[in-house]
Amino acid sequence: MSELLKVVHIPRQRHTEHHGELDPVTAFLEDFAPGQGQLTLVCWGRAWSHYWGAMGNDYSLDRFIRTASTDYLVGKLMLPYDVMLKRSERREEKWLYQIVEALKVQLKVST
């Protein structure tokens, strides 16, 4: 059972010159202990999740996400799909990159 569950709602993102449209996303940040947590992202029936057992410096998951590179986070969230599909689906990876970037912005706003 988690010690802390934080739910972050990311509103619909309109198309910009750098990104396509992004539907609403719900992010579940679970801190199990200092330096241990799980991120789950849900968008229109698709979900991505990853557990970190050692985030270093006893970071909360919120702080870890804000400081980690987006490429690193996307790679971890795509890991199960790489194993199941034996390859990464570029379109989904690009979509997930937008979601993680939007989550980072939302976390900075709410801090």
The strands making up 46-52's β-sheet, listed across from edge to edge, are 4-10, 25-33, 36-43, 46-52
| Residue 1 confidence (pLDDT) | 44
The tokens describing 44, both together, are 């229109």
* H helical segments located in the chain: 61-67, 70-85, 90-110
**This prediction's pTM:** 0.79
pLDDT of residue 20: 66
Residues of the chain whose pLDDT is less than 70? Answer: 1-2, 15-20, 80-88, 111
